Structure 1
């Protein structure tokens, strides 16, 4: 057995493991390349990673750490160049890829070592067999797990620091026997070295995956809480709008008394002032909508008043009866958020005649379609496949669209967004309930 060097994992295996681990995230994250271009980038990354590891194998032991840093740097560059992620997110997935690669390469070589130790066989086919079984099993399982739990997300710098510190600790402890064999946590016996390295890498892998699941659960809870706040806010706006409309109704009822005063007034200037005031109040009352659904009427009336104050032309063709099957909160969420976004965009347009918003609620076959259109200027930036907020207060950044999508999904519906010729179009499509 002395003629077999088993304490060192072959550099080629390490390079392949690092490339394969990164490729799991490349295939699951949103990519910059598709088809042949993606395949070419992945093959080039594989060649560079393996070449880097083979070259590092010729370095003196004093340059072992710089060699590892170069390999990690290539992994980071591969992820950042191929995927549409931030630098922090690329670093986050790079650390997880590195620990996964360390575990896979260590496990494969440990199993091969034990196979040789037990059978005294050193033929090439045994090495290749163990390689394909271990790499196929570990990376296949990892791809399946990551596909279920990965999503495009922005990793904060603090989260990156935690993951990097965890990865560094795992790597240091797992390789301690190579650096200092006489410590209480290291060994000089080959089999024990393998056990320490593989088990520590496995522990680190489990810790990082558990942290990933935990942070996602926390993010989901935060999203739900934010959307709950948005829903409550929209419902509160609806209640306030209802109170305002009641006040308008009382004011309109008082107009008949004002007419009587107007008839008795002899001063033409005062009469004209009375007429101007009445005309203004009538316009306010005309902002009320009669769609067949009192919730829709209240929301549209409230938003119409807001549009009047900001010189925005709001037109609507709405059959409110189509939404009678929806809960009040859900109607408030879709109409309120969609109109708030449209109004926020229209206010930023300098020319009043371009401040245009159009709303439609209609049926198409077995679906109800809620269509919101507004004119915009400039360009719309997207984050996570949805328009980025333009509001100064970003506490609930992007949750308006998220709330609309979440509500539509409750009714087995969906949301589409289209931007063409400076018109922003938001369509919410929901299946109409079947009548028994």
Structure 2
């Protein structure tokens, strides 16, 4: 339990540090933008200033690092993890729509998504940059919320029960067992599949 909690603290610290670095980068960029605009306005180059503003606006519209699902808590955990994955040179593809109100408690949903994406990141870290990817798909199907998480992996893993063997030892599966218990508690279903080159976890939760 102590090792698991320490790992969570380290992971959260890494996420906060990554967000802080990103915010500092934005601050630096905007400082430069303001200086450039001020110089153009001071010299009466209003058309250039307007054109510069249009370029800035266009660059904001094309930023694809933010995902909006329709659910505030899902947005928070997904954007935090996606930002960290991109900093680790993991290619991310994400499609997600989550109802604003769910029967599943927000805390449980965040633990499920967070643990599964943390596990995906750990698997990707064993591979060379360029071979790392995580695919996220979350949508409503009938009366269920369907979630699929696929990450790049090495060779096919061997399964014991509903969990796959890990090279990290018996303590590494605590987070995944926590996910299993929360899915069961909320009346959902979970399946895992491993093959050469990829690992997929699918979760369905009642709306």
The change in CA–CA distance for 1:362 and 1:228 in structure 2 (over 3 A counts) is farther
Q: Distance in 2 between matches of 1:320 and 1:236?
A: 28
- The runs of 5 or more residues in structure 2 that have no matched partner are 40-55
Number of residues of Structure 1 aligned to a counterpart in Structure 2: 189
Equivalence for 1:321 = 99
TM-score (norm 1): 0.37
CA shift at 1:251, angstroms?
5.9
Aligned to 1:320, the other structure's residue is in SS state coil
CA shift at 1:422, angstroms?
3.0
CA shift at 1:401, angstroms?
1.8
Equivalence for 2:33 = 259
- More strand, by proportion: 2
Q: Distance in 1 between matches of 2:21 and 2:10?
A: 17
Aligned to 2:130, the other structure's residue is in SS state helix
1:227-249: CA deviation from partner (whole Å, max 9, x where unpaired): 79858975995698578658856
Equivalence for 1:370 = 147
Q: Which has the higher contact order (CA 8 A, sep 6+)?
A: 2
- The answer (yes or no) to whether the contact 1:288–1:298 under 8 Å persists in 2 is no
- The answer (yes or no) to whether the contact 1:234–1:337 under 8 Å persists in 2 is no
Aligned to 2:194, the other structure's residue is in SS state strand
The change in CA–CA distance for 1:294 and 1:237 in structure 2 (over 3 A counts) is farther
1:200-240: CA deviation from partner (whole Å, max 9, x where unpaired): xxxxxxxxxxxxxxxxxxxxxxxxxxx79858975995698
CA shift at 1:357, angstroms?
0.8
The change in CA–CA distance for 1:245 and 1:230 in structure 2 (over 3 A counts) is same
CA shift at 1:258, angstroms?
2.1
CA shift at 1:402, angstroms?
0.8
Aligned to 1:407, the other structure's residue is in SS state helix
1:107-129: CA deviation from partner (whole Å, max 9, x where unpaired): xxxxxxxxxxxxxxxxxxxxxxx
Q: Does 1:294 align with 2:69?
A: no
1:399 to 174, 182, 186: 174
The change in CA–CA distance for 1:349 and 1:246 in structure 2 (over 3 A counts) is closer
Equivalence for 1:408 = 183
Q: Distance in 2 between matches of 1:333 and 1:228?
A: 17
The change in CA–CA distance for 1:241 and 1:289 in structure 2 (over 3 A counts) is farther
- The answer (yes or no) to whether the contact 1:234–1:332 under 8 Å persists in 2 is no
What RMSD, in angstroms, separates the aligned Cα atoms of the two structures? 3.7
Q: Would you identify which runs of 4 or more consecutive aligned residues in structure 1 move more than 3 Å?
A: 227-257, 262-265, 322-325
1:78-89 aligned at under 5 Å gives the runs none
- More helix, by proportion: 1
